[in-house]
Structure 1
């Protein structure tokens, strides 16, 4: 029987009727079941073993026979990837299981302790730490005052040499789980895909940060992809979590670079030639009403995103990448303001994500036109606060702030969503006061990029909110 001929089972309908995600089903079944396996069951690519079917029926509250699987537990023949050739559909060697379970456990601890681990990582570069935000900044990366976004010239160097590190190094392999008895995973993204996939996990083109110069001012970029960067920055973070935390997530050691072979191999974190640095553009959105100001935050869903899950983040925030791979889109989207506008429309207004596969965005219509007009009338001002790295992952962060007059903000806020693909838009608006800002920064709940935006925006509040 071919895949095309295989009858659909009822698993997906039963799961959705109980408002469960694939990850939630996997969590209830327990290790080593993953959301990826649940997806394969639903597509008819694999039939689970009888004992798993019994557990699955209990999770969904139905008799086993109502799952819709054929009586035989023989998997449906299909082409398999090289990775899957080493993976039993429902049974694994206990030693492989243990390796994968330990990897998942460390990753869970990593996501649950990102704030503390960012502080630990920043302590490895004390000369470069940006306060207590968990960010580090290279020499000259933070300007003397906010820089109007329109004054920054972006330069693309498509001939830039490929970075030296790829995530396939022996030192990175030390944090990768076993794929079989005789082989480990070759890349961190492949382990995430199979063992702990978030809802949003797709490889896409992105611009790679190569340099920043505030004297001009300008930023230099090359080309990269999302997975190329994840394969380097997540092993760096995973390694630190493994060394610095015990099995319960408590501090176990105060590591030095000698204890962290992959981070030591990365070397100078500000040497962009050594690894791909994929920057995100993170924007603190401030509503101004006379002498009163307040801002928005976003809680990132750990089930949906690969990084900073469970933490508060400024909104909008997103990787600097084009909306489409069509040449017209790449030319128009190589612009920090356009990136901010797209993320604003997606994260706050619920517009469909420009995922790189469609047509270029029409910036002359909808909320884009509203934002452009408000900026032209000086009722919206957007500035760059500097560039930094998340000390834990060494991911690049372009820190920006957008101050919006209350009438413009409120007109847009009528259409704000409560949730988006990456998490929840916090209903509470936070006061942009010393108590409000410091309280959040001291709470440990804000992701490093958001903390950096708040730290610098408060430092330059008089320039951003003149009387």
Structure 2
């Protein structure tokens, strides 16, 4: 190799993807490290076929486009014991099992809207129109509820009967080695298909919905504890309802879905850990005209709903920090909405659970509080539902901002965030605009639910100005 000649395209592809060597290593999973990625880029060690396939997936290219030698040479010496371990080829049966699992997961992420419709059909008496959501008896109030009137209760949450380790869920997991399957769904995601945002954090667990008392009850949980259940449910349906090429097959029944059948009633919130997410339709009002924003979620960045349109802001209901002061302040739907809006629309760093409590008196938080107190920002809860595919809890909300408040914030809106792209186009809040989006098959169930209910109750949310 002549001086200055590039041994492969790995470094260029990594930089094009805006990834560090450490981030590439994390996506590939143990035992790969940043040092190993560096040696691959310098041509000191050549990755074996398994890691070639994984690198191609991370960079979104074909294996050939990595620019690696056709046949990896066996190096005369190893730079570390790690290189011996990483270079060992897996048994073909393990590779086949993992590739089959990845293919199902890719099909799942490419067909979440369609699969949510299939899943909703399993609960016909509880469908929320054609949104892909299902709702328990009394989970949708008779009209929008002012967010200030929603009472949040902390409740003891006993251990769930199901946690994703059951035999019915274990059947969905690939082999980790020749004699051992992956122990958990999240472990498989971590090692085989890790998105950029994938961290186990504390989150509140939905344990009760009671609109007669205007209250929602929550216990404690963790993201991975939720995901081991909800992503297993989604994976199972994708495996049964799609063929090897990701095309639909005859609609299954619950008989064909042993893990979902084991869950039983999806509205029994004590049987499994249910993760609550808060999704907010953000509407700009200018006189009698209104328009709203949407967010395109990046499938490389998020574990769920990648490639779909979602209302913005949207995020898991969880504290910004594990410190007691943060937990107390953040147990509030409005604070969760504010924080997600600041992160997703204004590009503020995400509160990762380890830092100081958020100062809600400063920056955009103070602006939003002041505007809400003055009635220029109004926020309602539209109800609670479940994503039929995953059975994740969805707290559906809508924020209506007067044009001057919205435009003051919009001056600093970002085009992209850690989870995807903020759609530059603003959609008209009209029958044509709303129904066109809902009929497109591109909107995530939570976003579709927000749009459907907000349009149904538009006269209460946007009374005509005199």
From 217, 220, 224, give the equivalent of 1:220: 217
**CA contact under 8 A between 2:48 and 2:89: conserved in structure 1?**
no
Q: Which moved more, 1:316-325 or 1:242-251?
A: 242-251
Q: Map residues 151-300 of structure 1 onto 2, 5 A cutoff.
A: 151-157=149-155, 159-300=156-297
Measure, in 1, the Cα distance between the counterparts of 2:92 and 2:347. Answer: 44
Measure, in 1, the Cα distance between the counterparts of 2:90 and 2:20. Answer: 21
Q: Which moved more, 1:389-398 or 1:36-45?
A: 36-45
Measure, in 2, the Cα distance between the counterparts of 1:419 and 1:101. Answer: 31
**CA contact under 8 A between 1:437 and 1:458: conserved in structure 2?**
yes
* 2:89 counterpart of 1:91: yes
Q: Number of residue pairs matched?
A: 441
Q: Which residue matches 1:137?
A: 135
**CA contact under 8 A between 2:10 and 2:66: conserved in structure 1?**
no
User: Closer, same or farther in 2 for the Cα pair 1:462/1:89, shift >3 Å?
Assistant: farther
Q: Which residue matches 1:76?
A: 80
From 391, 395, 408, give the equivalent of 2:392: 395
Give per-residue Cα distances to partners, 1:30-83, cap 9 Å, x unaligned.
Answer: xxx99415992533389666464997897466999xxxx9955647346x9xxx
Measure, in 1, the Cα distance between the counterparts of 2:12 and 2:34. Answer: 10
Give per-residue Cα distances to partners, 1:179-216, cap 9 Å, x unaligned.
Answer: 11111111000000000000000000000001111111
Q: Which residue matches 1:44?
A: 36
Q: Which residue matches 2:458?
A: 461
Q: Map residues 395-434 of structure 1 onto 2, 5 A cutoff.
A: 395-434=392-431
Measure, in 2, the Cα distance between the counterparts of 1:73 and 1:137. Answer: 61
Measure, in 1, the Cα distance between the counterparts of 2:112 and 2:298. Answer: 14
Measure, in 1, the Cα distance between the counterparts of 2:293 and 2:393. Answer: 22
Give per-residue Cα distances to partners, 1:314-372, cap 9 Å, x unaligned.
Answer: 00000000000000000000000000000000000000000100000000010000000
**CA contact under 8 A between 2:281 and 2:313: conserved in structure 1?**
yes
Q: What is the TM-score of this pair, normalised by structure 2?
A: 0.89
Q: Which residue matches 2:353?
A: 356
Q: Which residue matches 2:117?
A: 119
Q: Which runs of 5+ in 2 are unaligned?
A: 1-6, 56-62
User: Closer, same or farther in 2 for the Cα pair 1:399/1:18, shift >3 Å?
Assistant: closer
Q: What is the TM-score of this pair, normalised by structure 1?
A: 0.88
Matched residue SS, 1:208 = strand
* 2:374 counterpart of 1:381: no
Measure, in 2, the Cα distance between the counterparts of 1:19 and 1:145. Answer: 45
Matched residue SS, 2:152 = strand
**CA contact under 8 A between 1:141 and 1:387: conserved in structure 2?**
yes
Measure, in 1, the Cα distance between the counterparts of 2:69 and 2:114. Answer: 45
User: Closer, same or farther in 2 for the Cα pair 1:90/1:414, shift >3 Å?
Assistant: farther
Measure, in 2, the Cα distance between the counterparts of 1:328 and 1:20. Answer: 35
Q: Which residue matches 2:60?
A: none
Measure, in 2, the Cα distance between the counterparts of 1:20 and 1:163. Answer: 40
**CA contact under 8 A between 1:14 and 1:60: conserved in structure 2?**
no
**CA contact under 8 A between 2:279 and 2:315: conserved in structure 1?**
yes
Compute the displacement of 1:253 (Å). Answer: 2.2
**CA contact under 8 A between 1:257 and 1:264: conserved in structure 2?**
yes
**CA contact under 8 A between 1:287 and 1:405: conserved in structure 2?**
yes
Q: Which runs of 5+ in 1 are unaligned?
A: 1-8, 27-32
User: Closer, same or farther in 2 for the Cα pair 1:338/1:299, shift >3 Å?
Assistant: same
Q: CA RMSD in A?
A: 2.9
Matched residue SS, 2:372 = helix
Compute the displacement of 1:292 (Å). Answer: 0.3
